[in-house]
Amino acid sequence: MATVSLIEYEDADPTVRQVYDDIMTTREVDWVNNFWKVLAVQPELLRRTWEGVKEVMAPGVLDPLTKEMIYLAVSVTNGCEYCINSHTAGARKKGMTDEMLSELMAVVGMANQTNALADGFQVEVDEAFR
Amino acid sequence: MATVSLIEYEDADPTVRQVYDDIMTTREVDWVNNFWKVLAVQPELLRRTWEGVKEVMAPGVLDPLTKEMIYLAVSVTNGCEYCINSHTAGARKKGMTDEMLSELMAVVGMANQTNALADGFQVEVDEAFR
Amino acid sequence: MATVSLIEYEDADPTVRQVYDDIMTTREVDWVNNFWKVLAVQPELLRRTWEGVKEVMAPGVLDPLTKEMIYLAVSVTNGCEYCINSHTAGARKKGMTDEMLSELMAVVGMANQTNALADGFQVEVDEAFR
Amino acid sequence: MATVSLIEYEDADPTVRQVYDDIMTTREVDWVNNFWKVLAVQPELLRRTWEGVKEVMAPGVLDPLTKEMIYLAVSVTNGCEYCINSHTAGARKKGMTDEMLSELMAVVGMANQTNALADGFQVEVDEAFR
Amino acid sequence: MATVSLIEYEDADPTVRQVYDDIMTTREVDWVNNFWKVLAVQPELLRRTWEGVKEVMAPGVLDPLTKEMIYLAVSVTNGCEYCINSHTAGARKKGMTDEMLSELMAVVGMANQTNALADGFQVEVDEAFR
Amino acid sequence: MATVSLIEYEDADPTVRQVYDDIMTTREVDWVNNFWKVLAVQPELLRRTWEGVKEVMAPGVLDPLTKEMIYLAVSVTNGCEYCINSHTAGARKKGMTDEMLSELMAVVGMANQTNALADGFQVEVDEAFR
């Protein structure tokens, strides 16, 4: 259960509604997920976070699906339940199949393993990598 | 400085040399980086880790560059210096430009921020995401 | 569900009861939360942990509310569900409002983002900061 | 060594210079630290990150020193060398003494310990905390 | 709820069944836990992960119970709910008592505390330790 | 470089000296490592931390070497450079060989991998494990 009250659309002030509207328009959905309803406790936090996410996740030199998968890889490494669920759903919507998810997880698992080994033995960075 | 002695090619036993040879052939390089020279302290650990990395990083439904960028995203989130340096180098070799690296980091940074916010407010997973 | 049995007051031996009594007196409450009932599986672990927490969280050059908010910031970064809930409750009891919580989370989120960026690009520490 | 080239003021384009100027004005310093010179590899990443930090760290219901200490607590928990050094310096500039730093670290250390204990025994959240 | 469908024995293809059989034989149990049923979404990921775990957890210079406790210590530090539960159960099956679990957790808690303190104050590694 | 000044024995007040003496006596060494010289900035933090470490690391139902290896496993997972170096040295002094270290790291690496996979696919805890 969230540690603050969720702000529903009908109870939201104009600033918050404007962000909610933009979220629904940008994502082509007719509802707002809990994450934003929680941030609305402080409208500036909501607005700033949404604008950041919108800019960062827009198509660029990396395509939106690749970005979603990178987002998911970070969320898994941090063990964030909400984020793993929402970004798995987000990536599937953008075309991620079970096979792609499995390959992604295989890379994430392997990276977590070798990160531990490199730190664990205190391996020095090769000159060629700098 | 590594906490065990690095095993150089000329001092390696046949099992270790075979892995070193396979690393150089697979990656089309003429040297072996420190990570593997440290794992060689236990030849089975070296062999198992290399075979895992080789399989996981091979082209699949995800292309090798996407996999390298996911690997890098995990390494950044874990703050692993060796891994950040080696996988930045690895991704550049496969075609990652400064612009791609910047977009990748922007996503990784944003994901770490919203992971903290979702955990921090204990946001409940929306039914639609499960 | 906890991985060990919780020790309730009525089943506790004198050493454990003494700690439970001290917790209730110090915090001016008439109940003991699950965290301590779990640590009571090893009375010395309970006693040592409680004495540490009591000393560290006592008023010092930092006031108790600031300390609770710092505790919460760490718990969020670690993604510890129990700790986020208990220290959000603890900080509210000491006067934290929704607005303060939101500013705290905004800082915690931003710190997690820039930590990732600084590690991700392997930024060198400026001489002026050392 | 950073994985991208640092952009110095004299080599920066107008957008980047404007951010550098704002950083120096806001912080009342005559130099720009490495973190920003690295982000300048992508001017939008620089601008967005700086504006976020500026807004979040401005005086609010929490004072700037408290915010710096929370930032430091997160950086320590993530083990981010750059961030620990820069935010320790930042907090000292805003008035943090050795005694305050020690109390902060004592809280951060204790929180990391009890976070592990709460997760380790899988303690259930008390109803009273929800 | 898992983000992919679990593959039950009766629906599994021969490759997956062979791994399931080996898990049950090796562990002397008549069921397969959810972790493997999820990895079966990609049979190669299942096979590779199981073979790695089987090799690593086999008796060596470290005995199986010590290995399980080390596995648990890592899982606690990462806050992985599934892993904490499964490896606490696994270690108990191999002989871990409540008293051993408590001592293990006391070490894990203390290590997380002093890790934070060492990072927090940026303590330099003594020459004698290198 | 540490963010506070190290307190050397000759400059230490009696409380600090008493802890330093106890560290040297308990560990049968004639020097004090940097970690303690940094904590001495706040004598109570030094005393409390040392007494905690001394109690937790004393022989119990787990032997001192097993405890050191668990400490090291946590330090690796957190990526704490100081702690990895000091506890690798500590474990070696208590008898850890290169072969034991390699097996320990193999377990730590594997645990970090499967932790990510269990979190990544959001595997539900089996009833049998609770």
List, for residues E84-126, the tens digit of each pLDDT value: 999 999 999 999 999 999 999 999 999 999 999 999 999 999 9
pLDDT tens per residue, range C106-130: 999 999 999 999 999 999 999 999 8
Q: What is the pLDDT of residue F85?
A: 98
Coil, strand or helix at F106: helix
Q: Which residue of A has its CA nearest to C97?
A: A4
Q: In the structure, what pLDDT confidence band is assigned to residue F95 with cuts at 50, 70 and 90?
A: very high
CB distance D113–E112 less than 8 Å?
A: yes
Q: What is the pLDDT of residue E104?
A: 98
Separation between Cα atoms, residue F89 and residue C15, nearest integer Å: 37
Q: What is the pLDDT of residue E56?
A: 98
Average pLDDT of chain B is 97
C4 touches chain E (CB under 8 A): yes
A84 touches chain C (CB under 8 A): no
Q: Which residue of D has its CA nearest to A56?
A: D45
Question: Could you say which of B45, B74, B79 has the minimum Cβ distance to residue F102?
Answer: B45
pLDDT tens per residue, range C6-42: 999 999 999 999 999 999 999 999 999 999 999 999 9
Q: What is the pLDDT of residue D99?
A: 97
- Mean pLDDT value across residues B112-120: 98
CB distance D85–F45 less than 8 Å?
A: no
Collect all residues with Cβ–Cβ distance below 8 Å to B94 and sequence separation of at least 6.
B64, B65, B68
pLDDT tens per residue, range C60-84: 999 999 999 999 999 999 999 999 9
Q: What is the pLDDT of residue B16?
A: 98
- Mean pLDDT value across residues A27-33: 97
Question: Could you say which of C56, C78, C112 has the minimum Cβ distance to residue D107?
Answer: C56
Q: Residues of E with CB below 8 A from F97's CB?
A: 61
Interface of A with B in 7-66 (CB under 8 A): 31, 33-35, 38-39, 41, 49, 52-53, 56-57, 60-62, 66
- Mean pLDDT value across residues D15-23: 98
Q: Residues of F with CB below 8 A from D109's CB?
A: 49
Q: What would the DSSP string read from start to end of B72-88?
A: HHHHHHHT-HHHHHHHH
pLDDT tens per residue, range A42-90: 999 999 999 999 999 999 999 999 999 999 999 999 999 999 999 999 9
Separation between Cα atoms, residue B94 and residue E128, nearest integer Å: 41
Q: What would the DSSP string read from start to end of E39-96?
A: HTTSHHHHHHHHHHHHHHHS-SSS-HHHHHHHHHHHHHHHT-HHHHHHHHHHHHHTT-
Q: What is the pLDDT of residue B127?
A: 96
- Mean pLDDT value across residues E19-31: 97
Q: What is the pLDDT of residue E48?
A: 97
Q: Residues of A with CB below 8 A from E45's CB?
A: 102, 105-106
CB distance B116–C105 less than 8 Å?
A: yes
Taking every pair of Cα atoms in chain A, the longest distance, rounded to a whole number of angstroms, is 59
Q: What is the pLDDT of residue F116?
A: 98
Q: What is the pLDDT of residue F61?
A: 98
Interface partners of chain B (CB pairs < 8 Å, 3 or more) are A, C, D, E, F
pLDDT tens per residue, range E64-80: 999 999 999 999 999 99
pTM above 0.90, yes or no: yes
Question: Could you say which of C41, C79, C80 has the minimum Cβ distance to residue E98?
Answer: C41
Separation between Cα atoms, residue F88 and residue F100, nearest integer Å: 11
- Mean pLDDT value across residues D10-39: 97
CA angle D103, D107, D113 (to 5 degrees): 145
Q: What is the pLDDT of residue E74?
A: 98
Half-sphere exposure of E130 (CA within 13 A, CB side): 9
E84 touches chain C (CB under 8 A): yes
Q: Does residue E55 contact residue E33 with C-beta atoms inside 8 Å?
A: no
Q: Does residue D106 contact residue D98 with C-beta atoms inside 8 Å?
A: no
CB distance C48–F52 less than 8 Å?
A: yes
Rounded to a whole number, what is the distance in Å from the CA of B79 to chain D's nearest CA?
Answer: 7
CB distance B119–C76 less than 8 Å?
A: yes
Q: What is the pLDDT of residue D124?
A: 98
Q: In the structure, what pLDDT confidence band is assigned to residue F113 with cuts at 50, 70 and 90?
A: very high
Per-position b or e across F94-105, b if 16+ CB within 10 A of its CB: eebeeebbbbbb
Q: What is the pLDDT of residue F63?
A: 97
Q: What is the pLDDT of residue E100?
A: 98
Taking every pair of Cα atoms in chain C, the longest distance, rounded to a whole number of angstroms, is 59
Interface of D with E in 85-124 (CB under 8 A): 85, 88, 105, 108-117, 119-122
Rounded to a whole number, what is the distance in Å from the CA of C76 to chain F's nearest CA?
Answer: 16
